Amino acid sequence: MRRWPDSLRYVSIGLAALLALSGCAATLDLDVERPISHAVSRHADTPLNAQLAPQIPAGESGFHLLHDGHAALAARLSLAQRATRTLDVQSYLFHNDTTGKLVAATLLAAAERGVRVRLLVDDIDTADKELRLVTLNAHPNIEVRLFNPFHTRSASLLVKAWQALLDHVRLNRRMHNKVFIADNQIGITGGRNIGDEYFNAHMDFAFIDLDVIAAGAIVDALSQSFDQYWNSAAAVPATALPVAPDDVQLLRATRFLQQFRSRNLDSDYGRTLTAADPLPKLLAGHLPWHLAHADLIVDPPEKAINPETAASELLIGQLAGLWIDPAQRALIVSPYFVPGAMGMAYFNYWRHQGVQIDVLTNAYAASDVPLVHAGYANYRVPLLEAGVNLYELKPTAEPIGGRLRDLGSGSSNASLHAKTFVFDDAHVFIGSFNFDPRSMHLNTEMGLVIRSPALARQVTALVEHAMRPERSYQPRLVTADADNGTAKRLQWHDTHQGVARVFEVEPETSPIQRGLLRVLQTLPIEEHL
């Protein structure tokens, strides 16, 4: 009898184990009711409406930038505390850490006041949070839904990987949108998920991120987008989960979160949040809004379940439809930057028109996804040859003039997470969209295109500060002698403690890391990055 090679035997045993695990795991009840619901009227009589009326004329929109993590969390908590009718929250990630508990406690407190709370979370990271989600969902004024969920429920990475292999076309597409809306009056959108690393609450690490508070007419568009996702076929109620909380669990969770919130808001971090909250000054007229026209561009929820969605309906098609072409400068900030053929075509066209193109992304040492950095590394030489200026944010901050001021983090170990574009210091995009194939073709994304020179200049100043040589490396092409003539190679330039430096290899990386990068660069997976 012929025996299988050991490797094939092990693979077969592994597959059998995965099948057994999948068969034993519980599944979603996809037949649960999915009641349709919608945002309240923007013209409803609410305290927020009354407070905004003197600040933002009827039919117009106002904006305020949130580049500081403390202010970004404080604004969300403050907004939830001021809601009297509805709270709509949409997020890719919702961690069960300090900030996640603070947000959950604030949502529960609002529900206790009679506010209707709708929470829509992507299912990529909920396997170990099911009890928490269904407990929130048990409150009569809170409804939780999961977007594009895994049908077999298991916290096992092996089981999830097995499902992803079997249903990769669907499960590879995630909802990356983020929005936080109160009473259809004020909304917050941008790059931040709900978790400590996005709000300067992590001890050792911080994402440098960017959000914007929006008020006035544009909020109706944010609410309509939320409704489309909430009522879509891809959004499954938490009642479908194979977990059944009881009233005792809800009572315990409510008491715990109330105590947690009270204790943390009375801490040094809580007092920092209170001091950073911009909403009281904005609503009182002591801090001006940037009044401007804006367009919401957002992928349809169908993108996650229908690969054949027309390009014109996608965010990138909507952005092209706005006909915003830079004439002088394009400033692009994207933590994951893989331009692809389409991006390179735009850059070459813009450079041919004399447009200056500056790109800020993560250095290899600062990137939290080496695989995506490998995709970017394949384009570094073509980008520089095309005349694009590249800046790679360092993972550690060097104080400049005694005080670091960048895109919102004073952490000693940080990674860029903001997604923003500025065209000609006149139009600024702030949202969840990374300049990579995943955001373009796979994940659903959203963002605001705001026609405000003042806001654009504010974003430009923040980005240019982050691009300074004390804060970022600048890759450059140099010509060197080779056996067959001359060859181009990369150098990285920066300034450290007032001294200019030049690196011949990726700064702050080991030989093993650089070897791994070279291997990753050869993988034919760009369309999934």
Q: Which pLDDT score is estimated for 399?
A: 57
What average pLDDT does range 178-203 have in this prediction?
96
Classify residue 459 as exposed, middle or buried by CB count within 10 Å of its CB (0-12, 13-18, 19+).
buried
pLDDT digits (tens, 9 = 90+) for 236-277: 999 999 988 778 888 999 999 999 999 999 999 999 999 999
Range in 67-71, 85-89, 169-173 the model is least confident about: 169-173
CA distance 5 to 153: 33
HEC secondary structure over 263-327: HHHCCHHHHHHHHHCCHHHHHHCCCCCEECEEEEEECCHHHHCCCCCCHHHCHHHHHHHCCCCCC
What average pLDDT does range 453-457 have in this prediction?
97
In this prediction, residue 15 has a pLDDT band, given cuts at 50, 70 and 90, of very low
Nearest to 33 by CA among 157, 145, 155, 180: 145
Q: Are strands 356-362 and 389-393 parallel, antiparallel or unpaired?
A: parallel
Q: Which pLDDT score is estimated for 168?
A: 85
Half-sphere exposure of 495 (CA within 13 A, CB side): 11
Q: Which pTM value belongs to this model?
A: 0.93
Q: Which pLDDT score is estimated for 77?
A: 98
Instruction: Please state, as a whole number, how many other Cβ atoms lie within 10 Å of the Cβ of residue 302.
Output: 17
Q: Which pLDDT score is estimated for 398?
A: 63
CA distance 431 to 298: 9
Nearest to 362 by CA among 330, 399, 396: 396
Of 123, 183, 196, 211, the active-site residue reads 183
Q: Which domains does the chain possess?
A: 12-284 (3.30.870.10), 327-528 (3.30.870.10)
Nearest to 429 by CA among 313, 292, 296: 296
Of 95, 373, 394, 419, the active-site residue reads 419
CA distance 482 to 304: 48
Q: Identify whether 183 is a catalytic site residue.
A: yes
Angle (CA) 65-322-53 rounded to 5° is 45
SS3 137: helix
Q: Which pLDDT score is estimated for 23?
A: 53
pLDDT for residue 145 is more than 90: yes
Inter-residue contact 415 to 501 (CB < 8 Å): no
In this prediction, residue 367 has a pLDDT band, given cuts at 50, 70 and 90, of very high
Give 328 or 408, the one with higher predicted confidence.
Answer: 328
CA distance 190 to 196: 16
* Helix boundaries (H) for 402-510: 437, 453-466
Q: Which pLDDT score is estimated for 158?
A: 86
Of 64, 70, 160, 176, the active-site residue reads 176
What average pLDDT does range 422-442 have in this prediction?
96
* CB neighbour list of residue 367: distance below 8 Å, 6 or more residues apart: 335, 373, 415
Nearest to 181 by CA among 283, 285, 48, 54: 48
Nearest to 79 by CA among 47, 54, 41: 47
* CB neighbour list of residue 186: distance below 8 Å, 6 or more residues apart: 48, 52, 79, 213, 214, 215, 219, 279
Q: Identify whether 281 is a catalytic site residue.
A: no
SS3 439: helix
pLDDT for residue 10 is more than 50: no
Q: Which residues pair with 190 in a beta bridge?
A: 211
Range in 15-24, 78-87, 308-317, 413-422 the model is least confident about: 15-24
pLDDT for residue 2 is more than 60: no
Q: Identify whether 176 is a catalytic site residue.
A: yes
Of 178, 290, 394, 441, the active-site residue reads 178
pLDDT digits (tens, 9 = 90+) for 19-28: 444 455 789 9
Q: Which pLDDT score is estimated for 164?
A: 83
User: Would you state the structure tokens that stand for residue 528, as one six-digit string?
Assistant: 């999934």
Give 105 or 407, the one with higher predicted confidence.
Answer: 105
Q: Which pLDDT score is estimated for 3?
A: 41
Q: Identify whether 101 is a catalytic site residue.
A: no
Nearest to 172 by CA among 407, 443, 357, 510: 443
CA distance 22 to 152: 7
Buried b or exposed e, range 146-168, using 16+ CB within 10 angstroms: bbbbbbbbbeeeebbebbeeeee
CA 329 to chain centre: 25
Q: Identify whether 125 is a catalytic site residue.
A: no
In this prediction, residue 479 has a pLDDT band, given cuts at 50, 70 and 90, of confident
Sign (positive/negative) of CA torsion 260, 262, 267, 270? positive
Of 368, 424, 465, 493, the active-site residue reads 424
SS3 469: coil
Residue 87: enclosing H or E segment and its boundaries?
strand 86-91
Of 417, 427, 436, 494, the active-site residue reads 417
CA distance 213 to 185: 11
SS3 491: strand
Q: Identify whether 424 is a catalytic site residue.
A: yes
Inter-residue contact 170 to 438 (CB < 8 Å): no
User: Would you state the structure tokens that stand for residue 464, as one six-digit string?
Assistant: 């240019």
pLDDT for residue 401 is more than 70: no
Sign (positive/negative) of CA torsion 359, 524, 315, 324? positive
Classify residue 463 as exposed, middle or buried by CB count within 10 Å of its CB (0-12, 13-18, 19+).
buried
Over pLDDT 90: what percentage of the chain?
Answer: 81
| Residue 374 identity | A
Inter-residue contact 50 to 186 (CB < 8 Å): no
In this prediction, residue 9 has a pLDDT band, given cuts at 50, 70 and 90, of very low
